[in-house]
Structure 1
Amino acid sequence: MQHLVVMGVAGSGKTTVAVLLAERLGWTFAEADDFHPEANVALMAAGTPLTDEDRAPWLTSIADWLAQRDAEGVSTVITCSALRRAYRDVLRTGGGRVRFVHLAGDPQVIAVRMAARTDHFMPPSLLPSQLATLEPLEDDEDGVVVPIGTPPEQVVDEALRALGLAAAH
């Protein structure tokens, strides 16, 4: 089974792109934000960046979810910031082939997107800490970097092309 982790900083379009990828591939979708414990959501909503200690149970729960889907024979698409190599290493323990789709773009564009959101707990004030934490995919990591400057459908087209995947329909 394959598991795509759509990664990047807040406001990069992870959910929009991941939903479209899951629809095109016919794979199961999950939103990593739903795996956060309430304490993490409260910290972020208050403008407090998470520590590695805060993130550890969250990342483990995502990896466990991936392992369960893998055992069921289900390929997935999940969002997750996956900002550091160490975080991605945890996600890779989920089983199957875990691949990353890093959505990358201009921080100013991302900040404008974040400021326009009204339905998300992550405030724009945390973008600088996310950008400082971000470690780009390394050559030995299974993944692709996709620019976000085009409409979401084109971002998905580019991701599928770069991954060598064909849409289910």
Structure 2
Amino acid sequence: MTSSTRPSQRQIDPAAADALRGATKLAVATDTDDETLAATRTVAASLAAEYDVSVVLYDRSEETWMDHPHPSGVCDRADLADRDRQHLADQMTEFDEAGVEVTAWIATVPSITEIVDVVLQAGADVILLPDKTDHPKLLDRLKADSPSDVVERIISQNLDAPVPVLVDDGSTIRVETTDV
């Protein structure tokens, strides 16, 4: 079976397409200024529209990380205005334009690995990550592997049911697999 072409010029591996066909909610990492995450967000909007899945934007920006109490969890647009997260509300517009239902998740810790909380608490059943980020956070820099590799390993070790981690390497969307 050959890969199909995405409107964003990404190829999609058949296993990744199968994962999206069975999904209902896609978790997508985002930030305020990371261009790689922005490109993956655009791909996510296209994929979510094509496969009819909703999206949770996982915000890993550090704007309020040191605030106490720290706001975290699922947010809609009204919550975002109250939490000084206009960048998320702006990013949600791309999904609105694609006809995709979208919410946001403010992370307790801005590490990419905390996207697992979106799986556990918001019901995401597939994750899309870039193979690298332009601005890795401190906790991410301490890990030697790619963000998707680390997330896939954490999910494999800590969840009873598998949750596919899809990787956007800039040309192909594939399923991340690691040896646990």
TM-score of the superposed pair, with normalisation by structure 1 = 0.43
Q: Greater share of strand residues, 1 or 2?
A: 2
By relative contact order (CA 8 Å, sep 6+), the higher-ranking structure is: 1
TM-score of the superposed pair, with normalisation by structure 2 = 0.41
Q: Greater share of helix residues, 1 or 2?
A: 1
